[in-house]
Amino acid sequence: MIINKATFGAGCFWGVQYEFDKLDGVVETTVGYMGGHKKKPTYEEVCSDKTGHAEVVEIKYDPEKISYENLLKKFFEVHDPTQFNKQGPDIGSQYRSVIFYYDDKQEEIAEKMKKDLQDSGKFGARTIATAIEAAQDFWKAEDYHQKYVDKTGRKVC
């Protein structure tokens, strides 16, 4: 079996992980941090809004069962991509909407889907704020954050 990887930031990573775990073809999800300048950041450091990291979900998936396009569709469904550096009550750059791509094909698909969604008029005059960036080092979040919704029932930070 071939396993591919996708990484998305869509606000607080607890609820995002929960949503992706429900998809057939998703083999594993891990919450963590990406996009910042500090090595091995802690949750407290990321929440300080000073490391530049986003809370993200790293998704390992079977492309024979689910496509990257379908993962992106879910990504755009589980949050409001027009909000800049926030989602709901969670405010700060760590909650930004971001797609981290691992190759040119993922970048191309993400750019096209973002453009098509913007052009669709679904969000009216609001602009999609989702950033599309090359994947960087992924730093796994502390164990208590993994599968947090399953453990506690809480979906927001």
Tell me which of 6, 10, 12, 99 is the catalytic residue. Answer: 12
Give the pLDDT of residue 107: 98
Reported as a single tens digit per residue, the pLDDT across 108-129 is: 999 999 999 999 999 999 999 9
Residues of the chain predicted below pLDDT 50:
none
Reported as a single tens digit per residue, the pLDDT across 131-148 is: 999 999 999 999 999 999
Give the pLDDT of residue 153: 82
What is the rounded CA–CA span in Å between residue 154 and residue 137? 27
Domain limits of the chain?
4-152
Q: Is 82 exposed, middle or buried (0-12, 13-18, 19+ CB in 10 A)?
A: middle
12 is catalytic: yes
Top-tier CATH class for 4-152: alpha beta
Give the pLDDT of residue 1: 79
